[in-house]
Chains A and B, each alone.
Chain A
Amino acid sequence: DGGITQSPKYLFRKEGQNVTLSCEQNLNHDAMYWYRQDPGQGLRLIYYSQIVNDFQKGDIAEGYSVSREKKESFPLTVTSAQKNPTAFYLCASALYPLEVGTEAFFGQGTRLTVV
């Protein structure tokens, strides 16, 4: 089935460790996005990518890094520089440019907890 897959669903990290969240899509979408969601809050954009080997910072990129080596993959690394990484992370993909009828699809999220 076509879709967007995030893994793992739950992730625990010790303080000071880097951790990478996976996002894969087989929808042939050009654009991919990473968002962070804190409890009871909205989605805040971390990074987005329009095309392979290119990505832009969103509103809260500090402490995060991404790569886009393949069209179908957009992994997010939460580095030790991110002081409050515990959150729900959501990945999305969409055709570029966004148009009526070309919706952005979301994965089911990864819940990251620092222990």
Chain B
Amino acid sequence: GESVGLHLPTLSVQEGDNSIINCAYSNSASDYFIWYKQESGKGPQFIIDIRSNMDKRQGQRVTVLLNKTVKHLSLQIAATQPGDSAVYFCAESRGAGNMLTFGGGTRLMVKP
């Protein structure tokens, strides 16, 4: 079936380095994508979003890149900090009714 998935379940980076978290999607009809951060026992927290008519969008220390040709989404975190340690999910909006579906998640671990 159509789904949103992630390449790496766990990503370990050194504090201060840049992090790149990847996501593959298979539904070419999806037109809106969101990255969320979830800390243990809490609800997901919005990070950044992008529409399908955009290739790149930047926020504070974060950048989302969308490659529609290969159906690939990535989240780049600059100068990764210990507080960035969490599970990151990508989500896609599909269907006429704004159905929002999530991928399996990547755990980011930041080493001091």
List A residues at the B interface (Cβ < 8 Å): 6, 31, 33, 35, 41-45, 48, 50, 56, 58-59, 90, 92, 94, 96-101, 103-109
Contact = CB atoms under 8 A, between A and B. Distances in A.
Given A45-B102, A106-B36, A106-B43, 16 more contacts: A31-B98, A35-B102, A41-B105, A42-B102, A42-B105, A43-B44, A43-B89, A48-B100, A50-B97, A50-B98, A92-B43, A94-B100, A100-B54, A101-B49, A104-B46, A106-B45
Contact of B104 (A41, A100, A103, A109): A41
Interface residues of B, number: 26
B45 A92 contact: no
Contacts of A108: 42-43
Contacts of A31: 98
Given A42-B103, A43-B102, A56 B42 contact: no
Contact of B51 (A35, A99, A104): A99
Contacts, number: 70
B34 interface: yes
B35 to A, nearest CB: 11
B108 to A, nearest CB: 15
Interface of B: 32, 34, 36, 41-46, 49-51, 54, 57, 89, 91, 93, 97-105
B95 to A, nearest CB: 9
B49 A103 contact: yes
Nearest to A101: B49
A98 B42 contact: no
Nearest to B97: A50
